Amino acid sequence: MSGAESEREEPDVEGVFGAGIKRDEDLPLLLGEGTYTDDISLPGMTYLAIKRSDHAHARIVDIDTSEAESKADVVAVYTGDDVEASGVPNTIPTAWDLPGLVQPQYRMLAIDKVRHEGDGVAAVVAETPQAAHEARKRIHVEYEELEAVTDPVTAVERDIPQIHEESDDNIAFDFELGDADAVNESFSAADRTASVTLRQPRLIPNAIEPRAAVADWNDSTQKLRLWMTSQNPHLHRMLLSAGTLGIPENNIRVIAPEVGGGFGSKIYHYPDEAITAWCSMQLGRPVKWRASRSEGYLTDCHGRDHVTDAEIAIDNDGTIQGVRVETHAGLGAHLSQFGTATPSYLYATVLSGQYTIPAIHCRVIGAFTTTTPVDAYRGAGRAEGIYVIERLMDVAARELGMDPTEIRRKNLIPADEFPYESAAALVYDSGEYERAMETALEHVDYETLREQQQTLREEGRYLGIGVANFIESAGLSPSGLAGQLGAQAGGWESSIVRFDSTGSVTVLAGTADQGQGHRTTYAQIAAEELGISVDDVEVVEGDTDRIPQGMGTYGSRSASVGGGSIARGARDVREKARRIAAHQLEASVDDIEFEDGEFYVAGASDRSLHIQAIAHEAYLGHDLPEEMDPGLEATNFYDPENFTYPFGTHVAVVEIDPETGAITIERYVAVDDCGEIINPTIVEGQVHGGIAQGIGAALYEGAAYDEDGHLQTRRMDEYAVPHATYLPDFETDSTVTPSPHNPIGVKGVGESATIAAAPAVVAAVTDALEPFDVDHLDMPVTPETVWRAMEEE
């Protein structure tokens, strides 16, 4: 990556902060030496298969388990009634409350009704996986079928089947943010308005490793060990403890070994991992469960599922006066942990995007449907919100006959207005939006490209240029604010930075990697702060018995919140070491300077001690300052004062084949600003993956249900995950605008490119179709939809 220079001083030790070093984690993974949950093998292991509903909505009349129980090697078969009778709390709790939220009980196995295809109705445990799968087929469930409803708008209309007793209109919440009166006034006062109705289809996460769990309950110690594919082992420990199994937290050890991707889907506390643990508790034997790919498609939380009416009020010179948004958000059959927060606070609060918009109002109706639960998927909430405002910018430009970059440029929040409080209630930390946008436009030589577009149009060729400006709100915080908004968990992160007596360092981090490269970047942070080599730092994540506390990895929070905690902990360690150095060098603490790991007396560089030698002294404990305890480590809890706000501009250039509607992405330019960059190679990898997922949403992906609520896209050959061959070369660049409140100036990056790519690509396609008067096409924009739009002109 090239781009604007960082204001940060060049790192003084090779391979630390800012260096694009190779990922430390890759070699064992490439050699097949990684240990994933399914690799865990324990003596006496049994295997669990979950009988799932093949109806979207039905009353359970009877479950006959006798034939399954009689099969060879079957250890036990359990139904929802058995779980209920065991006396455990049996609730899969939500982690985010909203005013007036309807919260029906979500159990480990259904007992009265099934509410989506894939709802668990029985669990069979056997000596072998084959026996468990065979026996599952011998569980006979009698259903009384009920009507299904898969669309969030239809779901809340009258005379539609009621999914939960607790909600007679299928509405879980009716959320509002912003000032409706101010927006009404802005619409009356503005010269013009423009509007768009858009659908953001359901996306199915496609982590390489399906979800899995291995539970081992020890009856004599009353302790549970649970290996699982988790993005947040401590959160899983907390949710399993009180709400679901009724075991004290300190009797549960959750271990997330290597995790092969998550994209949000492994944040959640699902019934499946919980029932694995419950079965182990019943049997006193280890139990393993592993989802098949199709089982994952039916049960991993989906993303998006929004239907939105959006309007913008603008003056003739392009000045935005107001934005009004109403969204029906499909929540699926049950409330997933952040299923309430994602379409409300994570969505409505970013509707100002990069622009000064005086008045914003957003209403979100959260609707139960008889489908797989919906929760955060890469970019969650922010992706949906930025898509809305960027589509509005394009339709407004069309309405005014302005260039899409001109209306954007006119309304950008100026660099000198930060911190900037938007009308959607967020205070952005820092930004230089124009710099990123102009950098991206220079890369594509925008003016020349527009001229080329005209020339090609005259030849009957349709080039389209799409520009998307985005912000991200990464690292939900501070905890107090999150709590006021309904969060049932904190926004902090925790770590321990520990020297051992031989001078190597262990970082115990509360986040949990699924491919992001934490072991490398965290080592870079600690090495930078302590003046040692990255090779001397070991990073440990994903085990609640080794790492005392943590909140996990999601919302692009690990670098800023987790990394911030590590930097602060390392600084505390360095300060303790400085006091030991002062004592041993017989100088005042204020006279001790630090460089490249060496403490020396100011003006006398021959009197020095290396931090790794001091670590040895700290554990010897023979000669420490009075009243200082031995050891050299620090525990840190870091609760940031605000989110960080990454931003950038992505430009997509497409060509449409007028004969077939086929879309070719000719160029894709991404300029991202994630503050200080810890590792540019890893950041570029994150941007590449993010663009691929954004293009996937724009052009290929989308879960489809039939009218009976059966998932039609239930296999990889039915759900179009973007292949590398579908994607162009990505041209990436960066600008660096540090976050002023983060200890290391970083902002998140993990979701940025997904947020930007979908609106950039859709904008490019609609731009290509301008001669056909097409303002908007819903995702996924396929050759068929393009062709039809051209034909209908």
Task: Name the residues that contact ligand MCN, by CB under 6 A.
Answer: 261-264, 378, 514-518, 521, 553-560, 563, 674-679, 682-683, 686, 689, 746-751
Q: Which one, 262 or 286, has the nearer CB to ligand MCN?
A: 262
Q: Edge to edge, what strands does the sheet with 598-601 contain?
A: 592-595, 598-601, 604-610
Closest separation between CB of residue 183 and ligand MCN, Å? 31
Q: Are strands 663-673 and 647-656 parallel, antiparallel or unpaired?
A: antiparallel
d(CA 433, CA 439): 10
Q: Which one, 557 or 650, has the nearer CB to ligand MCN?
A: 557
Closest separation between CB of residue 97 and ligand MCN, Å? 22
CB atoms within 10 A of CB 111: 17
Closest separation between CB of residue 216 and ligand MCN, Å? 26
Q: Are strands 113-114 and 252-255 parallel, antiparallel or unpaired?
A: unpaired
Structure tokens at 255: 């271990």
d(CA 659, CA 664): 13
SS3 at position 359 = strand
SS3 at position 29 = helix
Q: Which one, 313 or 566, has the nearer CB to ligand MCN?
A: 566
Q: Which one, 162 or 681, has the nearer CB to ligand MCN?
A: 681
d(CA 296, CA 281): 24
Q: Which one, 517 or 709, has the nearer CB to ligand MCN?
A: 517
Q: Which one, 232 or 340, has the nearer CB to ligand MCN?
A: 232
d(CA 241, CA 396): 51
Q: In 3D, which of 699, 786, 787, 776 has the Cα closest to residue 394?
A: 776
CB 374 within 8 A of CB 336: yes
Q: Which one, 231 or 340, has the nearer CB to ligand MCN?
A: 231
d(CA 406, CA 398): 11
Q: In 3D, which of 391, 326, 320 has the Cα closest to residue 355?
A: 320
- What is the phi-psi region of residue 3: left when phi exceeds 0, alpha when psi lies from -120 to 50, beta otherwise? left
Closest separation between CB of residue 493 and ligand MCN, Å? 10
Structure tokens at 612: 């790794």
Backbone angles phi, psi at 212, to 5 degrees: -155, 160
d(CA 217, CA 211): 20
Structure tokens at 287: 């139990």
Q: Which one, 642 or 686, has the nearer CB to ligand MCN?
A: 686
Closest separation between CB of residue 673 and ligand MCN, Å? 9
CB 526 within 8 A of CB 573: no
Closest separation between CB of residue 335 and ligand MCN, Å? 20
Residue entry with tokens 């399914």: 38
Half-sphere exposure of 625 (CA within 13 A, CB side): 15
SS3 at position 680 = helix
d(CA 21, CA 517): 11
- State which amino acid sits at residue 766: T
Q: Which one, 332 or 552, has the nearer CB to ligand MCN?
A: 552
Q: Which one, 751 or 767, has the nearer CB to ligand MCN?
A: 751
Q: Which one, 390 or 528, has the nearer CB to ligand MCN?
A: 528
Half-sphere exposure of 765 (CA within 13 A, CB side): 29
Q: Which one, 464 or 690, has the nearer CB to ligand MCN?
A: 690
Q: Which one, 498 or 518, has the nearer CB to ligand MCN?
A: 518
Looking at the DSSP assignment, which residues form a beta bridge with residue 37?
none
d(CA 374, CA 343): 10
CB 120 within 8 A of CB 51: yes
- Which residues, at least 6 apart from 659, have a Cβ–Cβ distance to it below 8 Å? none
